[in-house]
Structure 1
Amino acid sequence: MPFLLDKYAQLWDYPPAKLNKEATYSCVIVLGGFSSEKADSTGMFNGASDRFIQGLKLHATGQASHILITSGNGALDPDGFSEGDWVQTQLKQFNLPDSSVLIENKSRNTIENAVFTKKLLLARHLAPPYLLVTSAFHMRRSQLIFKKAGLETVPYTCNYIAGFGKFTVYSFWPSTETFNNWGAYNKELIGYVVAWLRKF
């Protein structure tokens, strides 16, 4: 039921970031998974698109001088589609300077996000700490992985899927949406344990 999921989410999710509005970070790192491939091999934004919105906003408002999108294709049988490449076409519509955009288009999972992102940041000589944008349920695992990869990041959570609403009579009513969201949190818990045990 939603009530139990919300209570769990409040313990697991990172709280909203409180950034120093006077500070400027060298880069905001946006983890992919906020777009999906269509049948014609182009992309479309999905339910996690708040990651893109918040990352773009942090760059546009001057909180970060660069924006880095990290995502390739995480499918078990990947074709030629790369989320990073497709998102780059979307960013061009906002007329961002090419010099402020970094695209990592090969990673298949969060561990590769961190490893490949680190190489890009070092190549561009961008100094830490970096803002890290991803969904609230995914941030705990992402922070662990990026820290183990040697990257100092400031968590900027978004795309909350549980733990944020008011309690009503429907909070105790079973729903398929709640069942699906439990799946996302269970996956994160397992992924966190695997990442904690893994050596980089």
Structure 2
Amino acid sequence: MIFLKKLLYYFIIPPGIFIVGFFIGACLLKGWKRYLMIFFAVMLYLFSISPVKDMLIYPIEKDYINLKCDGDIIVVLGGGVYGNGELSEDAFKRVLKGYEKGRGGDKIIIVSGGRVSERYPYEAEVMKTVLVGLGIPEKQIIMDKDSKDTVENAKFTKKIMEEKGINGDVILITSAYHMKRGALIFKKYGFDNICAAATDFRFDGIYSIYDFLPSASNLNTVSKVLKEYMGILFYNIK
């Protein structure tokens, strides 16, 4: 009974309801349109279940699992901020990792993140506020408020360090799914000594029957992973 209730739940909210809709549409159509509907239903289903999500995300996360990391300067990459001034889930986890690496010491922490429009706060300011609230001295935090993407994160972080005469090994902090592309870009901008302190790992590897039901969170993760693959491909081509 519990399984049937959960099954119903998974298929009456997105993306399950859309999968059902595609199959209903396939039944009402004929020829190539029917097969197109079935294709979209199958793809949407596959991209929203845990085993496929793990298959896609493991190759870009595996190098950072249990990786010991230390350095002189901590660089925390932004991951998004809402209009109400709250950090996104990704960004908040990155800031917590920065706090974990910087607490109780005197390491400089560079928080890197601008804003998407005037309606939004500067992400670096929000990140700094969180770190100060957790107990990191304000004097240890440097803000990069100009960056709008990972390339600019690297570019403006490099500029800040050169202008302030900051030298040393960098602890780069970002989400595990984003670390491979982030590290590639930072190395391109001259950060040769990077220690990748990844957080927010999405790989699971242990499944139950419920992991084969469509989930919006899996679909969201897959969309982020595909974006990373595209970014890595673009980087290698460029």
- Structure 2 length as normaliser, TM-score? 0.71
Task: Kindly report which structure 2 residues correspond to 1:47-126, keeping only aligned pairs within 5 A, or say none.
Answer: 47-48=89-90, 49-62=92-105, 65-73=107-115, 75=116, 77-79=117-119, 81-126=121-166
**Segment drifting more, 93-102 vs 151-160:** 93-102
- CA deviations 1:78-106 (Å, max 9, x no partner) are 54621112222333334533331111001
**1:17 Cα offset (Å):** 4.6
Q: Which has the higher strand share?
A: 1
Give the structure 1 partner of residue 184 of structure 2.
144
Q: Distance in 2 between matches of 1:36 and 1:3?
A: 30
**Segment drifting more, 169-178 vs 146-155:** 169-178
Give the structure 1 partner of residue 199 of structure 2.
158
Give the structure 2 partner of residue 33 of structure 1.
79
Give the structure 1 partner of residue 35 of structure 2.
none
| Larger Rg, first or second structure (1 or 2) | 2
Structure 1 runs of 4+ aligned residues shifted over 6 Å read: none
- Structure 1 length as normaliser, TM-score? 0.84
| Matched positions, count | 187
Percent same amino acid among aligned pairs?
25
* CA spacing shift, 1:98–1:176, aligned 2, 3 Å: closer
The residue type paired with residue 30 of structure 1 is: V
Matched, 1:46 2:88: yes
Q: Which runs of 5+ in 2 are unaligned?
A: 1-48
Give the structure 2 partner of residue 4 of structure 1.
52
**1:111 Cα offset (Å):** 0.2
Give the structure 2 partner of residue 15 of structure 1.
64
The residue type paired with residue 58 of structure 1 is: K
Q: Which has the higher helix share?
A: 2
Q: Which runs of 5+ in 1 are unaligned?
A: none
